[in-house]
Structure 1
Amino acid sequence: MTAEECRHFLSSYSFGSLITADLQISHVPFIFAQENIVEIHLASGHPQLTSLKGEMCLLNVLGPHAFIPTHYYLTKPAVPTWNYASVNLKGIATLMSSQQLSLSLDKMLGVYQPELIQDKQTLPDEFRQKLMSAITGVKIDLREMNGKLKLGQHRSAADQGNVFEQLAKGSEENRCYARFAQDWLATYRPSVLITDPAAR
């Protein structure tokens, strides 16, 4: 994936697995606070926090995925595979001050539920302060961003079309993947869908 593709992907998929050098892992929502700054929040007693003070970490974000059995392909020979898209973010983590955390909470609410910022009945200041004392903000200064796209784009357009058709008949998870893959290829790889001679 290009940097533009990675950012487009992350605008739709913003829940990932945070991994530190000691192999601890947390599953967290995140936001892009700035161009190359990611912010997350963890419980203040979380053991992973000790591994996030000025250290390199990895945030992996997985999108829709699906198993593709061989009989979905019109072209033979074929092997079964698993198609998916994912983005990895690597960076240096630092812990936020209480003031930084407060600003970060507003930014995260602004992304996920902006009306809550001014809703003092649902989220009164006293309750917010109590919650803030129980969490720690983490800022990740990104050093590297790369994505992996395995959507069967190397297959013929006929094979891709049949895969999408078969997946559309399956589970909601498979239908979700089929919609994602078709939309993604149409936007970023249109040539693999419309110019393949095998599909004419």
Structure 2
Amino acid sequence: MHIPKTMKVESRELIHQFIEAFSFGAIISEQLEANHLPFLLQRSEGELGTLYGHFSRANQHLATQDGCTVMVILQGPHSYISPTWYVSSPAVPTWNYAAVHIHGEMKLLPAADTIKILDETVRAYEPELLNTGETLTDEYRDRLVKGVIGFKINITQMLGKQKLGQNRKPADQLGVVNGLTIQSNTDAISLLNYMKEVGIGLGETNS
């Protein structure tokens, strides 16, 4: 991924936060096959952390990737940016976004570990299902695990990019903020909220 110096996310903590916030992504194998899955991060496991996930046993491609190098792409908020929002001219349309690329070695896991991953996935997104034990019973989960394979990815490299207009003049940045503010589509709203959260590309509103 091409990352200009001003757009590179240097902090491991910030990249970990991004992974946890935008945990659904694409895993790409050495054969350039892509699959879309949710991921769980264990920050303290390994030098850079470890990703966990699971896939259908019917996915014969991923089932052959034990010990192989893979890349995971996680996409954050993104939106079209109109050149009419800038004070400076001439200007061209662009697209602002945030993304993280992760490289590592994929290891397939036995059934006992796969059950743990399924539980942790549910706990991350809807823990009430584990508390009640009615909708998702242990018996049903144990039957389900026969049809899925758990995996982990030992992270060897993480690349984070935030293209949020921070290379523009403060007045242009403020114009983008104002332009995004009046948009009604969810992409623009999500991007603006993310910019405010990380404090980047806000122009004259920066503290």
TM-score, normalised on structure 2?
Answer: 0.86
Matches within 5 A, 1:92-111: 92-111=105-124
CA distance in 1, matches of 2:190, 2:20: 17
Distance between the aligned counterparts of 1:50 and 1:117, measured in 2? Answer: 28
In the aligned structure 1, how far is the partner of 2:105 from the partner of 2:83?
Answer: 42
1:119-198 → structure 2 map (5 Å cutoff)? 119-170=132-183, 171-185=185-199, 194=206
Counterparts of 2:77 and 2:168 in 1: how far apart (Å)? 19
SS at the partner of 2:199?
helix
Partner of 1:73: 86
| Offset of residue 13 of structure 1 | 0.8
**Matching residue within 77, 91, 94 for 2:104:** 91
- The one-letter amino acid paired with 1:43 is S
Deviations 1:92-127 (A, max 9, x none): 001010011111122222211222223221112221
Q: Report if the CA contact (8 A) 1:153-1:192 is conserved.
A: no
- 1:153 is paired with a residue whose SS is coil
Of the candidates 49, 54, 58, which is equivalent to residue 62 of structure 2?
Answer: 49
Q: Which amino acid in the other structure matches residue 39 of structure 2?
A: F
Distance in 2 of aligned mates of 1:41 and 1:14 = 13
Unaligned runs of 5+ in 2: 1-8
Percent identical pairs in the alignment equals 30
* Post-superposition offset of 1:190: 8.0
Question: What CA distance in whole angstroms lies between the structure 1 residues aligned with 2:24 and 2:129?
Answer: 20
Q: Distance in 1 between matches of 2:133 and 2:206?
A: 53
Tell me if structure 2 keeps the 8 A contact 1:156–1:192.
Answer: no
Q: Secondary structure at the match of 2:132?
A: coil
The alpha-carbon deviation at position 142 of structure 1 amounts to: 0.5
How far apart, CA to CA, are the structure 1 residues paired with 2:151 and 2:127? 21
Q: Deviations over 1:26-48 (max 9, x none)?
A: 11111013431100110001032
Contact 2:172 2:203 in 1 (8 A): no
CA contact (8 A) 2:53 2:152 kept: yes
Alignment length (residue pairs):
193
- Which stretches in structure 1 are left out of the alignment for 5+ residues? 196-200
Q: Which amino acid aligns with 1:115?
A: E
1:17 matched to which residue of 2? Answer: 26
Amino acid at match of 2:80: F
Q: TM-score, normalised to structure 1's length?
A: 0.89
**What is the rounded CA distance, in whole Å, between the counterparts of 1:107 and 1:34 in structure 2?**
14
> For residues 193 and 152 of structure 1, what CA distance do their matches in structure 2 show?
14
Aligned counterpart in structure 1 of residue 72 of structure 2, from 46, 59, 73: 59
User: CA 1:119–1:194 in structure 2 vs 1: closer, same or farther (change >3 Å)?
Assistant: closer
| 8 Å contact kept, 1:185–1:193 | no
